[in-house]
Amino acid sequence: MGDNRRVALIRQSKKREGSESPEIQNDRIGGHMDQRGQVRVATVYEIGVPGDIERDGLEEAVRMVETGQAGGIVVAFFDRLGREELGIYQTLYRLEQAGGVIEFVDSPTLDPATEAGRILIAIQAAMAKAQRMKITNNWRISRERADLAGKYIGPTPYGYKRVDGKLVPTELAQYVKAIFQMRADEKTWAEINQWLTANAPAPKQKPNGPRVAWVVPTIKGIVANVGYLGHTHRKGKIVYRDAHEALVSLTLWESAQSAKGVRSTSGESWLLSGKVKCQGCRRNARPRSSGAGHKAYACKKFHASGTCTNPAFAVASQLEDIVVAALFEWHDSVFEGLQDLVDLDALAEVVAETRTVLRQLVMAQATSRFPEEFAEGIAEAEARAVGAERDLAQAKASITSGLGVPRVFRLRDMWEELTMQERREALSGLIDCIVIEGHKGGPVSERCVILWKGQAAAFAPWPVRGQKSEMVSLPWPLEVEVGLAAAEDAQERVV
């Protein structure tokens, strides 16, 4: 007689899967085991877990079979095992190697021990994969539509309410502004928490209900939320700007982020974090702050692989100004190049001229004794006017996104409006890293070299975090084309 010990595996990815709720799955599995006289040794719940290849709950259930704690796994429905074909086959193989079984309550014919069962499993796995792709695609389309409409996806932030999917400020917005202002004024989390508990309704407090105390994690989440700038975002990354009314200004928001102890979901507060390299050892020159508020990028000198003989050091504000100026110079050149390629003013003049000719012909026809003589000329003029307008529309479309937002813009004109994350993304798209020589070599401007995209590969290998490597310095000065000369290829790719 075989091993009748079983692990019940229950998975629900979303609460709206009512027909496959944990309660229904548990009842189905319980009835299945009772009919067969099986013993439930464990129940593994995966709530809010998609059917990916690697899942902690599934791994736990399989390991129980592999270690002899159970003779098999029971799931209520086939797709609860997963929606990735590779993951399903891997699970079946591991169970087979361990001498275990898997049973599907809704489909008893899906027995991997039989040839017919394996064929049916292959079909079901393909269908589960197709269903997952359909769900994923539908969600992506819905999310894109919501983004384009400026609708907010996710829990409604404190201080807002939803009206037709968009966020609208409520009377609680005043407390959000107070939180940011207190944080910008260097108030501690405990002080802010104490003030809010005494003066403001907590997020989970019911109307006319007993007062609920605030908690520090909730306050930190509010301060880190870029949604209060009026933007919709996903995992801290802005996807649609000015989608709803902002509760705080960018200046106040960034002041709150720079306060000690704040870690924003929109990225580091250091512009060049992870991008600055030490010439003496090729390792990161990390952000450092002194008690007096001075900021710098510096090599820590003593590493696991040895000691850097020429540790880099640069005042953060000086280095960042140099890099930003170089970025502006590069971006201006791209802007000018693209504007030269698309002369909208000239095309607009052509449209005006063709329309003027057409209008004159129509007026002449209206006053002529022989209007039929103008028909052919008017048709040709109208065709030229339509063609000119089409050319102008296509030219505008080539430099404008579907939302009417210019793809071509002067970065320097928008820099102050960008969040720190957006600034870092602009830099990362064009720069591999910035190499700094030891601080005794002179001014920062003479000790730094920007390696634009693709240039850092010429100086490989670079040390990998967590792995020991030799302490090897970079040659100095670095023999690379810097500034605009090095950016010409990148500009051609953009154009």
* Cβ–Cβ under 8 Å, residues 81 and 91: yes
Over range 91-113, report the average pLDDT.
86
Residue 25 has pLDDT above 60, yes or no: yes
Which pLDDT belongs to residue 352?
83
**Position 209 confidence tier, pLDDT thresholds 50, 70, 90:** confident
Question: What Rg do the C-alpha atoms of the chain give, in angstroms?
Answer: 32
Distance, in Å, from the CA atom of 124 to the CA atom of 145, rounded to the nearest integer, reads 31
Rounded average pLDDT over 437-463: 83
- For residue 472, report the phi and psi dihedrals to the nearest 5 degrees: -120, 125
Q: Is the pLDDT of residue 6 over 90?
A: yes
Q: Enumerate residues 6+ apart whose C-beta is below 8 A from 348.
A: 392
| Rounded CA separation 244/351 (Å) | 37
At residue 17 the predicted structure's pLDDT band, cuts being 50, 70 and 90, is low
**Residue 482 binned pLDDT confidence (cut-offs 50, 70, 90):** very low
Instruction: Using the predicted structure, report yes or no on whether residue 9 has a pLDDT greater than 90.
Output: yes
Percent of the chain residues topping a pLDDT of 70? 77
DSSP string, 434-481: EEE-BGGGS-HHHHEEEEETTTGGGGPPPP-TTS-----PPPSS----
Residue of higher predicted confidence among 254 and 194: 194
d(CA 452, CA 326): 11
At residue 122, what is the residue type?
A: A
- Across 67-72, average pLDDT: 92
Residue 204 tokens, joined? 């989970």
State the Cα torsion 34-39-44-50 to the nearest 10°. -50
State the average pLDDT over residues 436-455: 83
Q: What local confidence, expressed as pLDDT, does residue 211 receive?
A: 74
Q: Summarize pLDDT for 279-331 with one digit per residue, the tens.
A: 989 998 988 876 556 788 988 888 878 889 888 988 888 999 999 888 888 77
The dihedral over CA atoms of 350, 351, 355, 356, expressed in degrees to the nearest 10, equals -40
- Residue 404: the pLDDT is 36
pLDDT in tens, 264-287: 443 346 889 889 999 989 998 988
pTM of the model: 0.40
Residue 492 has pLDDT above 60, yes or no: no
70 confidence band (pLDDT: 50, 70, 90)? very high
Confidence (pLDDT) at 114: 79
Rounded Cα gap, residues 46 and 60, in angstroms: 11
